[in-house]
């Protein structure tokens, strides 16, 4: 049973539209993260949250907005989508700041046409 659920697995969007990527973790962790992997690039850190509060943000664009409605949820809203946003987006979680062994979801592959 996957303990970190990302939905959808695949997503196709048109340029200019808005999408929300869902992430839920059932590991009882207090910290959650978003990463992005574009073609031929390393896994790129985007955001980290701890107890539903933003801790670190590496994303330049305000078009990317995490949303945490519950402690075990960290969704990612992306507005005004561009073709360059096409990538696989991975959600991860860790126990907390003192022990941040990461556990990853299976990813959402986003294609922007």
Partner 1 sequence: GDQVEQSPSALSLHEGTGSALRCNFTTTMRAVQWFRKNSRGSLINLFYLASGTKENGRLKSAFDSKERYSTLHIRDAQLEDSGTYFCAADPNAYKVIFGKGTHLHVLP
Distances (CA, A) of 60 to 1, 13, 47, 65: 35, 21, 11, 11
Of 78 and 90, which CB lies nearer to partner 1 in the complex structure? 90
Among 75, 85, 90, 110, binds partner 1 (CB under 8 A): 90
Query: Whose structure tokens read 């519950």?
Result: 70
Among 11, 87, 105, 110, binds partner 1 (CB under 8 A): 105
> Is residue 64 within 8 Å of residue 83, measured between CB atoms?
no
**Residues of the shown chain interacting with partner 1 in the complex, contacts defined by CB under 8 A:** 31, 33, 35, 42-45, 48, 50, 55-56, 58, 88, 90, 92, 97-107
């Amino acid at each position: 049973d996957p303990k970190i659920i990302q939905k959808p697995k695949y997503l196709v969007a048109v340029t200019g539209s808005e999408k929300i990527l869902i992430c839920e973790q059932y590991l009882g962790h207090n910290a959650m993260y978003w990463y992005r992997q574009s073609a031929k690039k390393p896994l790129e850190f985007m955001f980290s949250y701890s107890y539903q509060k933003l801790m670190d943000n590496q994303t330049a664009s305000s078009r990317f907005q995490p949303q945490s409605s519950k402690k075990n949820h960290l969704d990612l809203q992306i507005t005004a989508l561009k073709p360059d946003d096409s990538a696989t987006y991975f959600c991860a979680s860790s126990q907390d700041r003192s022990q941040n062994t990461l556990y990853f979801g299976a990813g959402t592959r986003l294609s922007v046409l």
